[in-house]
Structure 1
Amino acid sequence: MNIRKIVTLVDEIHTEGGVPVEPAARTAVVAAVIDNPWAGQGFVQDLGPGIEATASELGALLAPLVVKALGETVEAYGKAAIVGLDGETEHGSALIHTLKFGNHFRDATAATTLLPAVEKRAGAGTVFDIPLKHITDATIRSHHQTVEVRVPDAPRAGEIVVALAAAAQGRPQARLAPLATEQ
């Protein structure tokens, strides 16, 4: 795996709707910009060797970094893969939609739910939204949220941006009724 750069973003919301948020709502994202392991090979039928060579190592790198960046207990999480224009969306999916990648984040946060994801092919500087869900109960509405990310110079044509996102809470000032009230 060749990493060009790692980007860390931390966001704190102190006021929402004109009302103080106490404690501040904190989210963190850590994104690695890596060479696409399948770049320049044409159509690759068997993505397995690239997954084996990259996914676990990438998950092991990013999971502790995003937990540390958040600096609080993780309650919601998500992931992303943005593939440069010379790759396929499937290349990003191959890296993040495997237990070899995701279990590092689940283990670091004692999570049990599936990691929500966004993946797409796009040029450098594209904005993408990482969906977040509660780490143990995907039906907790307050934790359904997104975090907006942009890496200005990535992904280049032969790169993939792989990111993990974490939140220490649900949406600021969340006040929707629990899902159970509608069932």
Structure 2
Amino acid sequence: MELQVRKIVRHVEELFVENGRPLASPHRVAIAAAVIANPFGAGYIADLVSIADELGEPIGRLLGPECVRLLDDDVEAFGKVALVGLGGEVEHGSALIHNLRFGNVFREAAGGTELLPAAEKVGAFGSSIDVPLKHKTDAKTRSHHQTVTFRIEDAPRADEIIVGCVAANSGRPLARLAVFGAEAPVEVAVK
């Protein structure tokens, strides 16, 4: 099966000031997303895995290294996303992004070892989607738990899926929560 790409969207954000405080270095986020024809069509298909296995690596190669290149910095946090048009189902997007042939390409390009956090949903033309990010080598690193919202104005059409890779060069700007497991136990009054 041939991957049918309508468009590729590249986006980079640089944040210099957070809550009135200048950052020591810019917080950068890169998104590489492709708007593709839904390879599963509009009807129910029992075997999603065969098509996802066939297309996972080509989609990963199209987006993963490009996302890392766009960031133009060391990747510290990453995530992935699929937004399925109204003619499909959420499982279509899940099949494409929860596929090691897709994920391993991005993980390798980013130098990551952790599972890629993900979001997938069905949405109308121009819908936004929130992409969770976590640290690329330690998902318990709280400072890197963050969410990036994006949308593509003319997608997804009913017969399309947006697939994307997202990377950040650091954790949340001004992160200052305790490290995982370091909080003092909360005392609960017993009556």
TM-score (norm 1): 0.97
Match of 2:187 in 1: none
Match of 2:171 in 1: 170
Quote the Cα distance in structure 2 between the aligned partners of 1:49 and 1:37: 11
Whether 1:14 and 2:16 are equivalent positions in the alignment is: yes
CA contact (8 A) 2:27 2:169 kept: yes
Whether 1:133 and 2:134 are equivalent positions in the alignment is: yes
CA drift of 1:17 comes to 1.1
Q: Which consecutive unaligned segments of at least 5 residues does structure 2 have?
A: 185-191
Q: Which consecutive unaligned segments of at least 5 residues does structure 1 have?
A: none
Cα 1:52–1:179 change in 2 (3 A) is closer
Match of 2:149 in 1: 148
1:63-89 CA deviation, whole Å, 9 max, x = no partner? 111001000000000000000000010
CA contact (8 A) 2:85 2:125 kept: yes
Match of 1:106 in 2: 107
- Secondary structure at the counterpart of residue 108 of structure 1: helix
Task: Quote the RMSD (CA, aligned, Å).
Answer: 1.0
Quote the Cα distance in structure 2 between the aligned partners of 1:109 and 1:153: 29
- Secondary structure at the counterpart of residue 23 of structure 1: strand
Amino acid at match of 1:3: V
Quote the Cα distance in structure 2 between the aligned partners of 1:49 and 1:139: 33
Quote the Cα distance in structure 2 between the aligned partners of 1:53 and 1:179: 38
- Secondary structure at the counterpart of residue 182 of structure 2: helix
Quote the Cα distance in structure 2 between the aligned partners of 1:110 and 1:165: 14
Runs of 4+ in 1 over 4 A off after TM superposition: none
Match of 2:62 in 1: 61
CA drift of 1:50 comes to 1.4
1:2-35 CA deviation, whole Å, 9 max, x = no partner? 0000001111110001100121100011110000
Whether 1:30 and 2:1 are equivalent positions in the alignment is: no
Match of 2:118 in 1: 117
CA drift of 1:48 comes to 2.5
CA drift of 1:182 comes to 2.6
CA drift of 1:158 comes to 0.3
Quote the Cα distance in structure 1 between the aligned partners of 2:54 and 2:159: 17
- Secondary structure at the counterpart of residue 64 of structure 2: helix
- Secondary structure at the counterpart of residue 70 of structure 2: helix
Match of 2:82 in 1: 81
- Secondary structure at the counterpart of residue 123 of structure 1: coil
Identity %: 52
